[in-house]
């Protein structure tokens, strides 16, 4: 494919553009179109080959924990536990099916880009205007544009009649760009500053234009984004990395323990090869947490359900947990931090700045009334059944009055337009002549750039009176204009002149003179009201918010200051795309922590920002709603799209979509993500400490030459005590201080924060208490007979090992906090899970037939008392250790 001619096209004159593209104003001939289509291909976006459902399904089995589970199933089958093997394999298959379903939903970004393309285009070919499918366009085609069109390809404009194009989805610019024909002089400018070009998939909001196609398909700016999406590698989430790490650790430990037991048994010579092999297999079964992947998946799924109710729609399950480890939230400005809706914020009348609070007909102040009237009259907004249609700046002027009880259609009907001079980019003014009342009185109304309009003003309305405009007052007005501009407000000036008849010659020289200044209007795309609080909460949680936008630096900084992202005097915290281009990747990575606001950036800049923070070990969340955000959304650890204003492209590239476009929902999602991680960590601590207790019990029994628990005992305990309580731990409410903790970051894992140490001592404690009960049963038997004594001891060990895990489940409701609070029994699902697990465990001993199947005896009340006493002891010892841990932490923080 040839390189895009976009950079050169911005600097071509109109005539040069036709020469460079070997075209003319009459367009291409049919022969030229055919030749160029063969050379450049269709005007469509290419997508890389997508994997089949079978390939996705097979890929799910490459995870190490899944391999461990499959090994567990094989081991279970070898020991004759076919039912357990089937259950384990069923869990594996269901997990794979769920993963395929999630992945298939995620492959939509490129398809959405293609769906955005304009279906048809109006072109000149062979000297005639014809309509063709947009994918049939070729470089050199002459395309006609008008309001409402979607630009079908990248092009250099040849004609512009008040042409304005909305490019926010591509550039992040919140205001439509006024197009002009002069070449761009600078070579290092962003897309938003290439005002002589039109870009594929942008929207024409006003006026008309003609352009020559300079790039089609993948050579367009949208095509470049599609290519970036196609080539962006997806990073593993912290959850996936944690589980992979955990799988490796478990696999190593299982192999080491199994080999040691097998070797020691064979060296002692008391057991046969088959018996020692089965013993080693029993140890492996005890060590493998069969239900862990299923429990993680279920906990994540429960998290997605809760988040959906909070308007955060998760497209990939691991994204739930990833949010909880987020260090950086890099947010698009337009439509995410702001409302993507121009709003009148300030009025300037009588030489003073006022908050915009009243509209025409809703004030006794004649000066404000005059200004508000001009906002309505000098306006091309169309009133339709679907709302206001037109340039966002002009619709905001109408909306301002409508918000203050003005019926727009009645007002405009009563003040019909008689003549006009359309806006153009050279004089920066727009003029109308309107009938004011039944007497035939007329007003010339003018709006435009303050400095240009004030050149044509000779008088000013002050306190209801029209007085001459002095040099001092003119200087004062220009100063006010500058003050508003510094606040990132877009300032429009308004003036008028009463006339008796419509001017015979409607030209700027004849009409836009001797005007009466009415006032300024300051407008801005305002921040969402709830965002400042969300930013503050994110900062309190140790998360750094960044603003990334295509807007000008002054506008970006003003909004960032209002939201609390940076301070007013932090000029060093703002950087533009052009300045970013001057930094190498290495230099930028060193200085990235200096910047909080990025202005005038291109799509590749956003990816650089995400990558720079990731190289520093940070977990990055990127929010956005435009096509230009898609590559960064995909590159980020978690991409957050906007459900209402977001394009299908950004949604397709995202891991999570905000149904309400509310930035504060991200903070709620972070809280939920942290809770999910904490609950998974609790489940892992519970499961692994229980499995370690089982391994220790079997290991010591083997070393002591005692009768050991059979694989069926271990598998039943794992099935009953692992599944229900561990899943219920996923429903634990968030702990009070969860949003006051620093982000875990990428280096953290499920075994961090003292969890690994807890697993070790708690597993040893569980095994030790079980062995103690077994020893007591052998040493102080209740019944006579060696065979009965050993059967009772084995049954008590089986009951203790199972019951002690149920007691320990209460310990696991908090990693370090005490469980003796009002929250102890708040989780009803947990209470039921413990009850059901206890009934199933007790049934193997108490229900006739079951005890025979499991090779256990019936225990009397004293034996049960010893078993229950071991479980209570487990709770008390762990609570004492937790208290010591909290005291040590408190002392360390005090120092």
Angle at alpha carbon of residue 764, lines to 761 and 769, rounded to 5°: 125
pLDDT digits (tens, 9 = 90+) for 542-598: 999 999 887 788 888 888 999 999 998 888 899 998 899 899 999 999 999 999 999
Handedness of CA 808, 814, 816, 820 (dihedral sign): negative
What is the mean pLDDT of the segment spanning 145-163?
87
What is the percent of the chain where pLDDT is above 70? 81
Q: What is d(CA 552, CA 533) in angstroms, rounded to the nearest whole number?
A: 24
Which phi and psi (to 5°) does residue 724 adopt?
Answer: -65, -50
- Per the annotation, the verdict on 332 as an active-site residue is yes
- Are 476 and 349 in contact by the 8 Å Cβ rule? The answer is no
Q: Is the pLDDT at 494 greater than 90, yes or no?
A: yes
Q: Is the pLDDT at 751 greater than 70, yes or no?
A: yes
Write out the E strands in 643-792: 656-658
What are the beta bridge partners of residue 125?
Answer: 28, 128
SS3 341: coil
Q: What is the pLDDT of residue 302?
A: 76
Q: Which of 869, 845, 686 is nearest to 770 (CA)?
A: 869
Which phi and psi (to 5°) does residue 146 adopt?
Answer: -150, 165
Q: Residues 648-684, buried b or exposed e (16+ Cβ, 10 A)? A: bbbbbbbbbbbeebbbbbbbbbbbbbbbbbbbbbbbb
Among residues 84, 135, 154, 332, the one annotated as catalytic is 332
Q: What is the pLDDT of residue 213?
A: 94
Q: What is the pLDDT of residue 335?
A: 73
Q: What is d(CA 576, CA 574) in angstroms, rounded to the nearest whole number?
A: 7
Q: What is d(CA 796, CA 777) in angstroms, rounded to the nearest whole number?
A: 7
Most distant pair of Cα atoms in the chain: their distance: 124
Output the six-digit token pair for 233.
């590698």
C-alpha distances in Å from residue 342, one per residue of 89, 232, 379, 664: 57, 34, 15, 21
Q: Which of 295, 296, 297, 314 is nearest to 305 (CA)?
A: 314
Q: What is d(CA 413, CA 857) in angstroms, rounded to the nearest whole number?
A: 95
What is the mean pLDDT of the segment spanning 841-855?
79
pLDDT digits (tens, 9 = 90+) for 208-219: 899 999 999 888
Across the chain, what does the average pLDDT equal? 81
Q: What is d(CA 187, CA 212) in angstroms, rounded to the nearest whole number?
A: 21
Structural domains in the chain plus CATH codes: 6-47+113-231 (2.70.150.10), 53-106 (no CATH), 238-310+672-894 (1.20.1110.10), 321-340+528-661 (3.40.50.1000), 343-522 (3.40.1110.10)
What is the mean pLDDT of the segment spanning 464-476?
92
pLDDT digits (tens, 9 = 90+) for 583-605: 999 999 999 999 999 988 876 78
Q: What is d(CA 405, CA 388) in angstroms, rounded to the nearest whole number?
A: 16
C-alpha distances in Å from residue 623, one per residue of 175, 315, 583, 662, 850: 20, 14, 24, 11, 56
Locus of tokens 């004089």: 427
pLDDT digits (tens, 9 = 90+) for 71-103: 666 766 776 656 656 756 765 676 667 556 645
Q: Is the pLDDT at 647 greater than 70, yes or no?
A: no
Higher pLDDT, 723 or 659: 659
pLDDT digits (tens, 9 = 90+) for 59-70: 767 665 566 567
Q: What is the pLDDT of residue 876?
A: 93
pLDDT digits (tens, 9 = 90+) for 656-697: 888 777 778 888 888 888 888 888 888 888 888 888 888 888
Q: What is the pLDDT of residue 116?
A: 42
Q: What is the pLDDT of residue 572?
A: 86
Taking residue 309's Cβ as centre, other Cβ atoms within 10 Å add up to 7
Q: Is the pLDDT at 792 greater than 50, yes or no?
A: yes
SS3 639: strand
Number of alpha helices (DSSP H) and beta strands (DSSP E) in the chain: 34, 26
């Amino acid at each position: 494919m040839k390189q895009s001619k976009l950079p050169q096209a911005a600097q071509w004159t109109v005539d040069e553009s036709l020469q460079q593209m070997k075209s003319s104003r009459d367009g291409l001939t049919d022969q030229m179109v055919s030749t160029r289509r063969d050379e450049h291909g269709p005007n469509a976006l290419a997508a890389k080959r997508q994997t089949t459902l079978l390939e996705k399904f097979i890929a799910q089995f490459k995870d190490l924990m899944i391999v461990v589970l499959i090994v567990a199933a094989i081991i279970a089958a070898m020991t004759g536990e076919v039912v357990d093997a089937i259950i384990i394999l069923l869990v594996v298959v269901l997990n794979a099916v769920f993963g395929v379903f999630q992945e298939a939903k995620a492959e939509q970004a490129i398809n959405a880009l293609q769906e955005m393309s304009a279906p048809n285009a109006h072109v000149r070919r062979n000297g005639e205007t014809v309509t063709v499918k947009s994918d049939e366009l070729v470089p050199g085609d002459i395309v006609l544009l008008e309001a409402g069109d979607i630009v079908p390809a990248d092009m250099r404009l040849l004609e512009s009649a008040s042409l304005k194009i909305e490019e926010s989805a591509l550039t992040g610019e919140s205001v439509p760009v006024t197009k002009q024909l002069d070449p761009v002089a600078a070579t290092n400018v962003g897309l938003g500053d290439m005002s002589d070009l039109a870009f594929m998939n942008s929207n024409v909001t006003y006026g008309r234009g003609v352009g020559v196609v300079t790039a089609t398909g993948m050579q367009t700016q949208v095509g470049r984004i599609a290519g970036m999406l196609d080539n962006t590698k997806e990073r593993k989430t912290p959850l996936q990395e944690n589980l992979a790490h955990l799988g490796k650790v478990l696999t190593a430990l299982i192999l080491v323990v199994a080999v040691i037991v097998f070797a020691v048994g064979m060296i002692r010579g008391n057991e046969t090869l088959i018996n020692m092999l089965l013993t080693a297999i029993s140890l492996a079964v005890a060590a493998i947490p069969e239900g862990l992947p299923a429990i993680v998946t279920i906990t994540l799924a429960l998290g997605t359900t809760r988040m959906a109710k909070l308007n955060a729609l998760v497209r990939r399950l691991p994204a739930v947990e990833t949010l909880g480890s987020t260090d950086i939230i890099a947010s698009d400005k337009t439509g995410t931090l702001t409302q993507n809706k121009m709003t009148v914020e300030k009025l300037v009348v009588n030489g003073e700045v006022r908050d915009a609070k009243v509209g025409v007909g809703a004030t006794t102040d004649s000066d404000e009334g005059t200004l508000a009237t001009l906002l309505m009259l000098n306006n091309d907004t169309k009133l339709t059944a679907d709302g206001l249609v037109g340039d966002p700046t002009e619709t905001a002027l109408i909306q301002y009055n409508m918000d203050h009880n003005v019926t727009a259609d009645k007002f405009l009907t009563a003040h019909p337009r008689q003549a006009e001079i359309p806006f153009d980019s050279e004089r920066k003014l727009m003029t109308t002549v309107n009938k004011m009342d039944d007497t035939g009185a007329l007003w010339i109304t003018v709006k435009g750039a303050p400095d240009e309009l004030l050149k044509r003003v000779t008088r000013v309305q002050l306190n209801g009176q029209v007085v001459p405009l002095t040099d001092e007052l003119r200087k004062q007005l220009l100063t006010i204009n500058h003050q508003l501009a510094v606040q990132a407000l877009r300032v429009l000036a308004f003036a008028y002149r009463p006339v008796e008849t419509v001017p015979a010659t409607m030209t700027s020289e004849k009409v836009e003179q001797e005007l009466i200044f009415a006032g300024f209007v300051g407008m801005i795309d305002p921040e969402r009201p709830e965002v400042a609080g969300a930013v503050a909460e994110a900062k309190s949680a140790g998360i750094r918010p960044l603003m990334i936008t295509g807007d000008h630096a002054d506008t970006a900084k003003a909004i960032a200051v209002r939201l609390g992202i940076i301070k007013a005097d932090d000029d060093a915290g703002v950087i533009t795309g052009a300045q970013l281009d001057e930094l190498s990747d290495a230099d930028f990575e060193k200085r990235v922590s200096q910047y909080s606001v990025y202005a005038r950036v291109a799509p590749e800049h956003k990816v650089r920002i995400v990558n720079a923070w990731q190289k520093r070990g940070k977990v990055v969340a990127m929010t956005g709603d435009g096509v230009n955000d898609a590559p960064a959304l995909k590159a980020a650890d978690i991409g957050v799209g906007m459900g209402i204003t977001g394009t299908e492209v950004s949604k397709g590239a995202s891991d999570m979509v905000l149904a309400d476009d509310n930035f504060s929902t991200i903070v709620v999602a972070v809280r939920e993500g942290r809770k999910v991680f904490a609950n998974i960590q609790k489940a892992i601590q519970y499961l692994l400490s229980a499995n370690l207790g089982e391994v220790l019990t079997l290991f010591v029994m083997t070393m002591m030459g005692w009768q050991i628990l059979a694989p069926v005992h271990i598998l039943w305990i794992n099935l009953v005590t692992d599944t229900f309580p561990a899943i219920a731990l996923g429903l634990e409410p968030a702990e009070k201080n969860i949003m006051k903790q620093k982000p875990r970051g990428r280096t953290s894992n499920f075994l961090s924060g003292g969890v690994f140490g807890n697993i070790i001592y708690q597993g040893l404690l569980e095994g030790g208490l079980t062995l103690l009960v077994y020893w007591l049963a052998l040493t102080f038997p209740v019944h006579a007979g060696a065979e009965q004594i050993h059967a009772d001891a084995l049954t008590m060990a089986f009951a203790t090992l199972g019951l002690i895990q149920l007691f320990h489940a209460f310990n696991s409701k908090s990693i370090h906090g005490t469980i003796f609070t009002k929250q102890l029994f708040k989780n009803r699902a947990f209470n039921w899970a413990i009850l059901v697990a206890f009934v199933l465990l007790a049934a193997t001993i108490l229900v006739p037939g079951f005890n025979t199947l499991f090779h256990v005896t019936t225990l009397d009340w004293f034996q049960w008392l010893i078993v229950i006493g071991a479980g209570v002891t487990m709770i008390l010892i762990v609570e004492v250790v937790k208290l010591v841990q909290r005291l040590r932490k408190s002392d360390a923080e005090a120092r």
